[in-house]
Amino acid sequence: MTAVDLIIFGATGDLSARKLFPALYQLDAAKLLQEDLRIAAVGRQQQSVDDFRQDLRQKMSGYMREAIDDAVWARFIGRLDYLASDFAEPQAFVALSDWLDDRRVSLFYLATPPSLFSTICEGLHDDQCLRGPCRIVLEKPIGESLATSSQVNETLARFFDERDIYRIDHYLGKETVQNLLVLRFANRFINSQWDQSCIDHVQITVAERVGIEGRWAYYDGVGQLRDMVQNHLMQLLCLVAMEPPNSLEAESIRDEKVKIVKALRPIDAETVKEHVVRGQYSQGVINSQPVPGYLEEEGCELTDSNTETFVAIKAYVDNWRWSGVPFYLRTGKRMPDKVTEIIIQYKALPHHIFGEGQGAEPNRLTIRLQPNEGIEMSMVSKRQSLKDKLSLQTHTLNFDFREDGDIDRIPDAYERLFLDAINGDPSLFVGREEIEESWRWCDQIISACEQADVTVSTYQAGSWGPSKSELLIDRDGRSWNV
């Protein structure tokens, strides 16, 4: 295997301390990193490598469930260098260029604001950092619309081959999200019942307890649709709806996902009110603690904002498999619980033979992505009784992932993604076409909302969103799972 150098830009930022370095440390602790992997942390701050390491240890500890092990830490920092660089200055990467080794793959990881992507790529090119084999990993957001995401992609294409560009959607790194592929394509009985003839509807909920976590300035220009639907919910929808790929090769999976995004029925100004609900939280109580409303969050200087912190969408995938099956998508901040789940609601039986009032409840498959990772299947069985000869009851078969596997914790998504990027496997990263098609669909919704004046409805923090979101699904004679 070719030796790899990992270069992290934005190494002193929040994401690096919260997610990136803890993931790398965990991989080192599990002895999953190549022995000779070197890591260069690149940040703007002028400081010595020792100061960087010390500061990092302190910051990381606040985000880790277990204390840092001294022996693992010693090994880890043995790989870790620090290079100060002001990205915007000419010749910012000369020191990096000296540090790189042409015989090894350079894996550049951009954990910086997207506004710096093109400056960094140009600087790397000008300072001869792209002379050997290289790959680039990018954090979201890749643009904030189809136009801006195409611009970012164009810039990347000037310097890197598409096969060397690894666009992160951290949801794809979650163990449970990958398990969706296995559930669908390794279980014949599931796969053969996976279409409009058997499935009544699908629900995808990504609810968070947190608010906007000190990111008001960023978030107010973005909102929940761009922040969560365009990427994470879209990926979940694709994995649920796509056709079986020919193989696990990145191209094969991406091709099938793109077909789904392209098959999404556009939502326009005429249909938007029936298909989309937007909400914004006001103050409330979560977990017995009072929490502020969106307009009272730290960093807000406005008295009014039409940015959504909640969105519910009724979507259709117009293809043979999913014709007429609604996909109800819902995501929001400051909900009562953190829940990410997919519900596959099967149709009712066409004919009941068990008598009046014995309507067997339709089966329901619940895929819990987080927390309590697992799968539940509701099944109807006979109640054990002599009195009632054939009385029915619904049971739940429960498969809890935490009781499974060879590790005592569910690994963080970034651990998987780092391993794959280091090993050169792009199958869990997002392709250019997927991202751009997804923006195309979301852009239409955003402009339809503007044209039809779909404003945000207030919901109390700690509730499941505005009452209109209940109506969105009630109207069809259905209800949200939670």
Active site residue: 232, 275, 351, 395, which one? 232
Which residue reads 């969103």 in tokens? 465
Which residue reads 């098609």 in tokens? 437
Of 83 and 137, CB closest to ligand BG6: 137
* Cα angle: 43, vertex 63, 310; to 5 degrees: 95
Angle between helices 432-451 and 250-263 (to 10 degrees): 20
Closest approach of ligand BG6 to the CB of residue 224, in Å:
8
Closest approach of ligand BG6 to the CB of residue 227, in Å:
5
Q: Which residue is nearest to ligand BG6 (CB)?
A: 227
Mapped onto helix, strand or coil, the DSSP state of residue 257 is: helix
Closest approach of ligand BG6 to the CB of residue 386, in Å:
49
Of 206, 144, 146, 136, residue with least CA distance to 171: 206
Of 84 and 116, CB closest to ligand BG6: 116
* Annotation says 275 is catalytic: no
Of 194 and 216, CB closest to ligand BG6: 216
Closest approach of ligand BG6 to the CB of residue 274, in Å:
27
β-partners of residue 165 are 136
Closest approach of ligand BG6 to the CB of residue 124, in Å:
25
Which DSSP string corresponds to 352-405? --S-TT--PPPPEEEEEEESS-EEEEEEEEE---SSSTT-EEEEEEEEEGGGSS
The token pair at 98 is: 């000296």
Of 164 and 227, CB closest to ligand BG6: 227
Of 110, 47, 41, residue with least CA distance to 77: 41
How far is the C-alpha of 231 from the C-alpha of 63, rounded, in Å?
25
CB 56 within 8 A of CB 21: yes
How far is the C-alpha of 379 from the C-alpha of 394, rounded, in Å?
5
The token pair at 461 is: 């923090």
φ, ψ at 472 (rounded to 5°):
-55, -40
Of 228 and 445, CB closest to ligand BG6: 228
Of 210 and 397, CB closest to ligand BG6: 210
Which DSSP string corresponds to 193-212? T-STTTEEEEEEEEE-S---
Of 18 and 468, CB closest to ligand BG6: 18
Of 83 and 228, CB closest to ligand BG6: 228
How far from 335 is each of 70, 208, 210, 369, 471, CA to CA, in Å?
Answer: 39, 6, 8, 17, 18
Closest approach of ligand BG6 to the CB of residue 370, in Å:
6
Give me the torsion for CA of 118, 123, 126, 127, rounded to 10°: -150
SS (H, E, C) 310-355: EEEEEEEECCCCCCCCEEEEEEECCCCCCEEEEEEEECCCCCCCCC
Instruction: Write out the residues near ligand BG6 by the rule CB under 6 A.
Output: 208, 210, 227
Closest approach of ligand BG6 to the CB of residue 311, in Å:
13
Q: Which residues are catalytic?
A: 232
